[in-house]
Amino acid sequence: MSTTAANTIERPSALSRFFRGLGLLRESPIGMFGAALVLFWVTMAIIAPILPLLDPLAAIMPFQKIGAVAPDGTTFWLGTDDKGRDILSRVIWGSQRVLVWASLATVVAYFFGMLMGVAAGYLGGWWDEVISFIGNVLLSFPVMILYILIVSYLGASGINIVIAVTFASAPGIMRIVRGLILDLRTRDYIAAAQTRGEPAIRIMLVELLPNARGPLIVDACLRLGYTVVAIATLGFLGLGLPPPDPDWGLMIKEAVPLGSFAGHMMVIPALALSSLILGFNLLADGLREISLRD
């Protein structure tokens, strides 16, 4: 064994590096709190199918208060809504929906935003002019109007929300990426890649983009929060994910006309919503704090 020592060099596993990164977060209490909130909802979303929850769509008993017990012995931990559906199970199932669509929308927006940004930043010239122009046109629309226009034109569905979020977010992502790339492209390692004749596409995707990841991870966390807000807002306006599936925005909307008569119907999904958004924002803050400290 010892004779081959020179060739047995250990590669640190990806998993150990991931946990080391997570360990760094411990230095930011704010970030830890945010991560805990996000992790809570992600866990809820994942284990929703195996939790002993009532059917979120079944009308059981309307207007039950928090902690009410049905004659058959079922406890409504968070009460029921005007149609008699269990709010606890609707909130948990709703977290799954909002997280899936918000993540999907953010990922798609990032995909296009990064491609546009890296092309504009690295290729420059006409690419930059055209891409930046398109971006500026899209950014000049008020975001809400853009959402409403797209969703009401294409119809309310998950995919259309993804499209709307992409249109609204990609230009902003493009700008951030473009700025980062403009800085990174002057580095010597890019010159080294150019002088060994690497194709532009490889330089952009392999040499440049990974080095822009720091600020982008922070931005992605923030943007996930915004997307959750956007989905909830669209739901509230009746343009979100179609009923009867549980949706936090829609749940709030349904509670509004009832006013204080069924306060818990509004407060519980609102709390769920703000805790998730707060989680994303604090996590982003914590990540930024750590990245600045290095």
Partner 1 sequence: MNNQEQPVLDIKDLCISYYTRAGEIPAVVDFSLTVKPGETIGIVGESGCGKSTVAMAIMQHMGSNGGIKSGSIKFKGRDMTQMSDEELRQLRGSEVSMIYQEPFAALNPSLLLREQLMEVPLTHEDINREQAYERAREMLANVKLPDPDRIMNSYPHQLSGGQQQRVVIAMGLLSKPALLLLDEPTTALDVTVEAGIVKLIADISRKYGTSQIYISHNLGLILETCDRVFVMYSGEVVEEGTIDSLFTWPRHPYTHGLFGCIPLPTADKNAAPLKPIRGQLPLPHERPQGCYFGPRCDHFQAGRCDGDKVDIEHVTGSAEDHMVRCLRWQEIDHTKEAPGGEAKEAMELGGPVLEVNQMKKYYEVIDSSMKALISGDRVKYVKANEELNFNAREGETVAIVGESGCGKSTFAKVLMGLEGGTDGEIKHDGKDVSETLVRDRTDKQISSLQMVFQNPSDTLNPSQTIGGQISRVIKKFGVASDKDEVFNMVMKLLDTVKLPRDFYYRRPRQLSGGQKQRIGIARAFAGNPSTVIADEPVSALDVSVAAAVTELLMDIQRENKTTLLFISHDLSVVRYLSDRIVVMYLGHIMERGTTEEIFEPPYHPYTEALLSAVPIADPEVTKREILLEGNLPSVMNPPKGCPFCTRCPRRIGDICDNEMPPERQVTDTHRIKCHIPIEELQKVEPVIHVPAPEERLGKPEVPASTH
Per CB under 8 A, residues contacting partner 1 are: 6-7, 9-12, 187-189, 191-199, 207, 210-211, 213
Min dist. Cβ of residue 291 to partner 1 (A): 13
Min dist. Cβ of residue 108 to partner 1 (A): 24
Q: Which is nearer to partner 1, 137 or 191 (CB)?
A: 191
Contact (CB, 8 A) for 135 and 112? no
Min dist. Cβ of residue 187 to partner 1 (A): 4
| 293/77 Cα distance (integer angstroms) | 43
Q: Which is nearer to partner 1, 65 or 187 (CB)?
A: 187
| 192/207 Cα distance (integer angstroms) | 10
3-state secondary structure of 278: helix
Min dist. Cβ of residue 194 to partner 1 (A): 6
| Residue 10 CB-density burial (10 A; 0-12 exposed, 13-18 middle, 19+ buried) | exposed
- Site of tokens 């207007």: 63
Q: Which is nearer to partner 1, 193 or 276 (CB)?
A: 193
Q: Which is nearer to partner 1, 12 or 49 (CB)?
A: 12
DSSP 69: E
Q: Which is nearer to partner 1, 55 or 183 (CB)?
A: 183
For residue 75, list its beta bridge partners.
Answer: 69
Q: Which is nearer to partner 1, 81 or 219 (CB)?
A: 219
Min dist. Cβ of residue 172 to partner 1 (A): 24
Before 244, cis peptide (omega within 30)? yes
- Site of tokens 């296009």: 112
| 178/129 Cα distance (integer angstroms) | 12
Min dist. Cβ of residue 133 to partner 1 (A): 21
Contact (CB, 8 A) for 48 and 13? no
